[in-house]
Structure 1
């Protein structure tokens, strides 16, 4: 009878991504192969790198270790890097935490023990389905238990395709930590001087450039899994036919985050096709309502039944993101470039903040520096960044790069960093716009917000 793992397909994808797109082969399952430490060692010896998974309620505790089980003798004191994960289901999303430990694993008294700094920091007792973790490990993995805990199952997998060192895994672990810092920063963000409760970011770009995919990607990061709320496609004409103002919630049932992404019909080089340039001023000023049906031949007018005649500051666009496929920048036609310049002229006349968002970056790891704090202008992107800078006069610091979740099934922390970094820069640009507004536009708002003395 075939022995199958308790590991779900989606959880396996998470772990494979964290370890560098490796493959996992089940070697040992305690309920099927015996509950003695000798049974585990016999099946897992001379198998190279292994990953041990302990299933505790809805949590999976994962320990990845270099070396063979046959080396775990009674007097073993050799320290090895081990990478630990916790995979937890919370509010309909999967959360992964990581921890790097330097431990000396050994088999002692019929249990698998890990020592660090002359102290046992974990142990696994197969004979009574018990795991022990120190408070330090539990805290770093954000588990709600420590000490001795009963588990449901113990499994060991052979890790195939690993590069014999933890460099990639360490980088992904650091990426996860930086990603979480960005998430926390954006969750805590408040627009400048509380002039508005939510920043409105307008996405403008050619058909198929990735405007709707960027919204989907932002939502995916905050929901913890890939989502596809906005319809996307690869048609030669725009899939988006309505003006959409999307809010993003922090998780499935979480509160709305302090920004909105406004999606438009794609620009087309042919007149009478795609987004009508005459709609741009109305969108920027906040006159266009959500779900307005675009008409490529004529713009919205004040006579339209849902036209917003007296938009407030909260209705206006606070930042414009010009969205371009990084692979198509060098091939923009003169007609398309002329349309972009018309849009940019309107944006400049309104004094609105703006950035460029280059999508479809093929290797996100290559774009980010090792510390994840800055984007490195690699040879594959330098010319495109320079071209956008020359075409639209956008400062290089405001030319951002992302790899949208268009065909991916699972999130990747490096992709997430680029998406969140781009979003953070848009919010910062919007703050600059709000701070630069003339006093006559903001003074009344500030007086209302201030308490009466």
Structure 2
């Protein structure tokens, strides 16, 4: 009998970890060794807890599906909101939630080989092939999934378990260098205070914050404001409700001290992104905000996007000063893996529009302490945490930006006093936003002072 070794190469395994997070994989079943029969699959894989199927097609595609529920041959439909299908093709892995006409049915738990939803089978009819009939159940086509080649050269199933000590995996050396000193905090604060945009007509950068409900957009503003006020503040409304607390478009200027000079950037807070198509922030409203049309305190209406034209008063003349110079996606580290597909689709649409306009984009990963016990113990462990590194990689893949554009931070939430480590992470994030905006100005063509 052939040796039971994984067919996944290092790159494919890395992409799979991007989707699954910090887990351990134990190879249970290999079709070329145990046979393509459903009986052989169930003998090895029943009652093993969460599993991931990885199939290899003759066209070179590596794809599969994850379920958090046991295989047990109960003959019942299994609901599993965490189940998803994926393809590990370049440049980044893609994934699709398993949804059927009956909701989150992951599969029929019968005696056949691995199955997802109503109409996708691996080892179909006990043969080395896959069968899929997407219909309205899946948000993909078979060409995207496995290259329209149903023949398999291998099918593997892995048991998925959390790392032996969840969130405690430590890198041998920090995967990013950072100084945790009071001197470094002072340097960052001074750098932000004295920053001047490369284009003289722009006095304050505009940074547009976008993200799902409860991710921490308003809390990020409150946290930056706290640093420069010298104490914890709560100027912007924030919370963790299912629907967005922020209903208005707010543009916040931060001052150095209660009566200090305005800092050279404006944080623009938006309504939260929601899964429903007619709820939360509208994609059209984001385009209007990027182009500088939406005024401060405009009340968002998900059912009716903002219209710049005004029959009574003509629209004001807009300049580069009014335009957004950096887009920041704010994501909850704990929820990156479970991001609803509709929210991810909205983020993709926003990214494409920002790309067309040449606007630089950054991802902020918030609530890192809640996501990783190692970081909760000591925030200075953030760049020693393998788990946080995994989440940075996953956010990079899902949003479509480079890993260097993903910055983990901790907002002030329950604290009563400022903390050195919190401040340094937050100030580093602001510094990167200013640098990215400078790249945008540097790339602008002559005469780029007008808004497109």
Question: What TM-score do the two structures reach when normalised by structure 1?
Answer: 0.56
Tell me the secondary structure at the aligned position of residue 194 of structure 1: coil
Q: 2:180 touches 2:424 (CA, 8 Å); kept in 1?
A: no
Once the two structures are TM-superposed, the CA of residue 393 in structure 1 deviates from its matched residue by 2.3
| Aligned positions of 1:417-428 closer than 5 A | 417-428=424-435
Q: 1:284 touches 1:317 (CA, 8 Å); kept in 2?
A: yes
Please list every run of at least 4 consecutive aligned residues from structure 1 whose deviation after the TM superposition is greater than 6 angstroms: none
Match for residue 252 of structure 1? 258
Distance in 2 (alpha carbons) for counterparts of 1:383 and 1:398: 14
Distance in 1 (alpha carbons) for counterparts of 2:380 and 2:313: 44
Distance in 2 (alpha carbons) for counterparts of 1:239 and 1:220: 20
Q: Which of 383, 395, 401 in structure 2 is aligned with 1:394? A: 401
Distance in 2 (alpha carbons) for counterparts of 1:438 and 1:313: 13
Distance change (3 Å), C-alpha of 1:306 and 1:227: farther
Q: Which of 189, 199, 221 in structure 1 is aligned with 2:205? A: 199
Any idea what the Cα deviations from partners look like across 1:416-436, whole Å, max 9, x if unmatched? 000000000000001111111
Tell me the secondary structure at the aligned position of residue 439 of structure 1: coil
Once the two structures are TM-superposed, the CA of residue 388 in structure 1 deviates from its matched residue by 1.4
Distance in 2 (alpha carbons) for counterparts of 1:251 and 1:401: 26
Q: 1:302 touches 1:309 (CA, 8 Å); kept in 2?
A: no
Q: 1:364 touches 1:403 (CA, 8 Å); kept in 2?
A: no
Any idea what the Cα deviations from partners look like across 1:139-196, whole Å, max 9, x if unmatched? xxxxxxxxxxxxxxxxxxxxxxxxxxxxxxxxxx952121111111111111114241
Match for residue 407 of structure 1? 414
Question: What TM-score do the two structures reach when normalised by structure 2?
Answer: 0.57
Q: 1:364 touches 1:415 (CA, 8 Å); kept in 2?
A: no
- Radius of gyration: which is bigger? 1
| Aligned positions of 1:17-416 closer than 5 A | 175-304=181-310, 308-362=315-369, 363=375, 368=380, 376=383, 378-416=385-423
Larger RCO, structures 1/2 (Cα 8 Å, 6+ apart)? 2
Match for residue 74 of structure 2? none
Distance in 1 (alpha carbons) for counterparts of 2:335 and 2:308: 36
Any idea what the Cα deviations from partners look like across 1:16-36, whole Å, max 9, x if unmatched? xxxxxxxxxxxxxxxxxxxxx
**Gaps in structure 1 of 5+ consecutive residues:** 1-172, 370-374, 446-453
Once the two structures are TM-superposed, the CA of residue 440 in structure 1 deviates from its matched residue by 2.2
Once the two structures are TM-superposed, the CA of residue 392 in structure 1 deviates from its matched residue by 2.3
Tell me the secondary structure at the aligned position of residue 320 of structure 1: strand
Once the two structures are TM-superposed, the CA of residue 384 in structure 1 deviates from its matched residue by 1.1
Distance change (3 Å), C-alpha of 1:244 and 1:186: same
Once the two structures are TM-superposed, the CA of residue 349 in structure 1 deviates from its matched residue by 1.1
Distance change (3 Å), C-alpha of 1:195 and 1:434: farther
1:432 counterpart = 2:439: yes
Once the two structures are TM-superposed, the CA of residue 302 in structure 1 deviates from its matched residue by 2.3
Over aligned residues, Cα RMSD in angstroms?
Answer: 2.2
Distance change (3 Å), C-alpha of 1:174 and 1:211: closer
Once the two structures are TM-superposed, the CA of residue 407 in structure 1 deviates from its matched residue by 1.5
**Gaps in structure 2 of 5+ consecutive residues:** 1-178, 370-374
Any idea what the Cα deviations from partners look like across 1:220-252, whole Å, max 9, x if unmatched? 000110000000111110000000000000000
Distance in 2 (alpha carbons) for counterparts of 1:251 and 1:365: 31
Once the two structures are TM-superposed, the CA of residue 310 in structure 1 deviates from its matched residue by 2.9
Any idea what the Cα deviations from partners look like across 1:394-413, whole Å, max 9, x if unmatched? 12111111110112111101
Distance in 2 (alpha carbons) for counterparts of 1:220 and 1:440: 38
Q: 2:180 touches 2:380 (CA, 8 Å); kept in 1?
A: no
Number of positions where the alignment pairs a residue of Structure 1 with one of Structure 2:
268
Match for residue 57 of structure 1? none
Q: 1:244 touches 1:290 (CA, 8 Å); kept in 2?
A: yes
Bigger strand fraction = 1
Q: 2:294 touches 2:308 (CA, 8 Å); kept in 1?
A: no
Q: 2:246 touches 2:271 (CA, 8 Å); kept in 1?
A: yes
Distance in 1 (alpha carbons) for counterparts of 2:184 and 2:257: 19
